[in-house]
Amino acid sequence: MEEWVPCKNLWIEFVNLCVDTALKYLNKIEESINCLKEFPNSGSIPRYSILKKQGYRVVIVEKHLIFYKVNKENKTVIIYAIVDGRREYQNLI
């Protein structure tokens, strides 16, 4: 049986497009995290009171939420989770 090359090439183009899209999205997340170096308190306070009480802050990147805490003594930002904001994430953190 002969292989249909255009179909294979189309599949490769599709996979490359998916990889490019994923890398662009990952870059958005990385840029948001890097901004925390300069502006550690720029994130919002989470809507769930238990997360507020524990000192979490959150940065929204499209459909994802980046949960972090600021350690003022060490002057560091600790990323605890990156979750899909459409899910019930309260118990994931």
The domain of 31 spans: 5-92
> Across the strands, what pairs with 59?
66
Check which CATH number belongs to the domain holding 28 and give it. 3.30.2310.20
Average pLDDT for the chain: 87
Distance CA 36, CA 32 (A): 7
Distance CA 70, CA 73 (A): 9
pLDDT for residue 63: 94
With 60 as the cut, is the pLDDT of residue 4 above it?
no
Q: Specify the amino acid at residue 92.
A: L
> Could you give the percent of the chain with pLDDT greater than 70?
86
Count of structural domains within the chain: 1
Burial class (CB in 10 A: 0-12, 13-18, 19+), 57: buried
